[in-house]
């Protein structure tokens, strides 16, 4: 039996030596992944990286080729432990998977299956219908709901079970921006209030940064990086992770001098100054987020160590932002507000200065 004494187990869930083989190919290889109690762990990675496969294994819905899922210190190996683990967790999939019945019936489904009836079932259902703003839809047929309303029903159906562990697979996928923003805010508030241990797969970097206590990056079925959102998005472990988390400027070069952790990196005929512990002679990639590059029509005086004259090769506007590509002898991409782009007339062939601080550069050994 799985113990109810959680104090002795700092990890709510562990995956040990986990591997999954599909079609003769290993699609998941995770030596160790620990989910801490009361944390929100976000799982990100490109399509086909094994995110959903990992989630299904953690939920004991997919049997791995090898490895063990450990819940509260007890391996979920025999059928009795697996069944008990499933009763302590809730899973929310990409699709709402609603029954062709009322919203009330959908939200109370799990309670009925677990033998929760009467006043307790009604109280729980009412609480979570109200919490997710769908109490007025209780009698409506679930198949008549909008996508956003359906997602709210799915979340209410999960939280009504009072799960010790919540697993979600891209729950806010395919929603329009206003609906997604509203639902994400409600969901975040509920997570903070309940302190429910959560593992959530997402392709949305903003979701990972806003919700996650920690972020795990999966690449080709393996963990490439695991850390806080600041660590993962600010200090990616390699070029592949850097590219995925939105570092559009990955510039190859060689450190030609190093003193007091200030290095100079030779990039073609140019020199970039950065902060790094790597010694002289190291081949590196300088990673700079596009939002950390400031553009000006003339050279400005600032504390930033790096400023390069360049020519705009392309400008693309999307929403309130503009993506500006510049040739400085090496390519740079800057992200500025659309208003700034218009005021500075950042159009093709315009001469500009691109400026960024040494501390804004993350150096990766090649």
Statement to judge: residues 219 and 359 lie in one domain: no
Beta bridge mates, 315? 324
Distance CA 98, CA 127 (A): 19
Statement to judge: residues 273 and 205 lie in one domain: no
Statement to judge: residues 220 and 326 lie in one domain: no
For the full predicted model, state whether its pTM sits above 0.85.
yes
Contact 286, 299 (CB under 8 A): no
Q: List the domain range (segments joined by +) for residue 262.
A: 247-365
* pLDDT score recorded for residue 364: 97
Give the pLDDT means over successive 10-residue stretches in the chain (366 positions).
58 95 95 96 96 95 93 79 85 90 95 92 97 96 93 96 96 90 95 96 92 97 97 96 96 96 96 96 97 92 90 95 97 97 96 96 96
Given the structure tokens 């009836």, which residue do they identify?
117
Contact 19, 32 (CB under 8 A): no
Statement to judge: residues 266 and 352 lie in one domain: yes
Q: In this structure, is residue 1 part of a structural domain?
A: no
Beta bridge mates, 267? 270
Ramachandran area for residue 60 (φ above 0: left; ψ -120 to 50: alpha; else beta): left
Asked which of 241, 275, 296 is the last residue of a domain, the reply is 241
Distance CA 103, CA 152 (A): 10
Statement to judge: residues 191 and 269 lie in one domain: no
* pLDDT score recorded for residue 72: 81
Statement to judge: residues 48 and 78 lie in one domain: yes
What CATH code is carried by the domain that includes residue 341? Answer: 2.40.50.100
Contact 243, 250 (CB under 8 A): yes
Range 344-350 contact pairs with CB under 8 angstroms and sequence separation of 24 or more: 344/295, 344/296, 344/297, 345/297, 346/295, 346/312, 346/315, 346/322, 347/312, 347/315, 348/312, 348/313, 348/314, 348/315, 349/311, 349/312, 350/297, 350/311, 350/312
User: pLDDT for 307-365, tens place per residue?
Assistant: 999 999 999 998 899 999 999 999 999 999 999 999 999 999 999 999 999 999 999 99
Residues 6+ apart with CB under 8 A from 20: 26, 27, 28, 50, 53, 57, 62, 64, 65, 221
Q: In this structure, is residue 291 part of a structural domain?
A: yes
Torsion of CA 156, 158, 164, 165, to 10 degrees: -120
Asked which of 241, 264, 289 is the last residue of a domain, the reply is 241
Statement to judge: residues 224 and 280 lie in one domain: no
Statement to judge: residues 123 and 45 lie in one domain: yes
User: pLDDT for 54-102, tens place per residue?
Assistant: 999 999 999 999 999 998 888 887 777 788 888 899 999 998 889 999 9
Contact 152, 190 (CB under 8 A): no
Statement to judge: residues 224 and 151 lie in one domain: yes
What CATH code is carried by the domain that includes residue 137? Answer: 3.40.50.300
Q: In this structure, is residue 93 part of a structural domain?
A: yes
Show the beta-strand stretches assigned E in 6-164: 11-22, 25-36, 40-44, 66-71, 74-75, 89-92
What's the number of domains the chain is made of?
Answer: 2
| Residue 80 backbone phi and psi in degrees, to 5 | -70, -45
* pLDDT score recorded for residue 75: 86
Instruction: Report which DSSP code applies to 173.
Output: T
Instruction: Report which DSSP code applies to 37.
Output: T
Contact 199, 15 (CB under 8 A): no
Statement to judge: residues 162 and 275 lie in one domain: no
Statement to judge: residues 235 and 252 lie in one domain: no
Statement to judge: residues 207 and 270 lie in one domain: no
Distance CA 311, CA 307 (A): 13
* pLDDT score recorded for residue 81: 78
Asked which of 223, 241, 259 is the last residue of a domain, the reply is 241
Neighbours of 142 (CB within 10 A): 23
């Amino acid at each position: 039996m799985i113990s109810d004494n959680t104090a002795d187990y700092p990890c709510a869930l562990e995956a040990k030596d986990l591997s999954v083989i599909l079609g003769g190919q290993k699609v998941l290889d995770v030596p160790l992944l620990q989910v801490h109690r009361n944390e929100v762990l976000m799982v990100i990675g490109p399509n086909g990286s094994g995110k959903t496969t990992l989630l299904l294994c953690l939920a004991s819905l997919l049997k791995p080729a090898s490895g063990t899922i450990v819940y509260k210190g007890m391996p979920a190996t025999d059928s009795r432990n697996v069944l008990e683990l499933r009763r302590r967790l809730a899973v929310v999939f990409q699709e709402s998977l609603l029954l062709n019945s009322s919203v009330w019936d959908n939200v109370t489904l799990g309670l009925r299956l677990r033998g929760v009836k009467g006043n307790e079932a009604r109280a729980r259902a009412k609480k979570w219908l109200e919490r997710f703003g769908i109490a007025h839809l209780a009698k409506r047929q679930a198949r008549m709901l909008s996508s956003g309303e359906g997602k709210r029903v799915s979340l209410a159906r999960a939280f009504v079970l009072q799960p010790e562990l919540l697993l979600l697979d891209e729950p806010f996928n395919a929603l329009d921006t206003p609906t997604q923003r509203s639902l994400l805010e409600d969901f975040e508030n509920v997570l903070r209030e309940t302190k429910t241990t959560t593992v959530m797969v997402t392709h949305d970097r903003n979701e990972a940064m806003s919700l996650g206590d920690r972020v795990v990056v999966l690449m080709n079925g393996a963990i490439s990086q695991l850390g806080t959102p600041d660590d993962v998005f600010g200090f990616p472990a390699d070029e592949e992770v850097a590219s995925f988390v939105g570092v559009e400027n990955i510039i190859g070069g060689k450190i030609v001098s190093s003193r007091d952790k200030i290095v100079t990196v030779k990039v073609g005929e140019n020199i970039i100054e950065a902060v790094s512990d790597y010694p002289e002679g190291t081949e590196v990639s300088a990673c700079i987020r596009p939002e950390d590059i400031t553009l000006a029509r003339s050279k400005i005086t600032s504390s930033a160590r790096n400023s390069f004259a360049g020519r705009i090769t392309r400008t693309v506007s999307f929403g309130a932002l503009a993506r500006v590509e510049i040739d400085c002898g090496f390519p740079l991409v800057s992200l500025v507000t659309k208003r700034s782009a218009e005021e500075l007339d950042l159009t093709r062939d315009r001469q500009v200065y691109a400026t960024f601080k040494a501390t804004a550069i993350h150096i990766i050994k090649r």
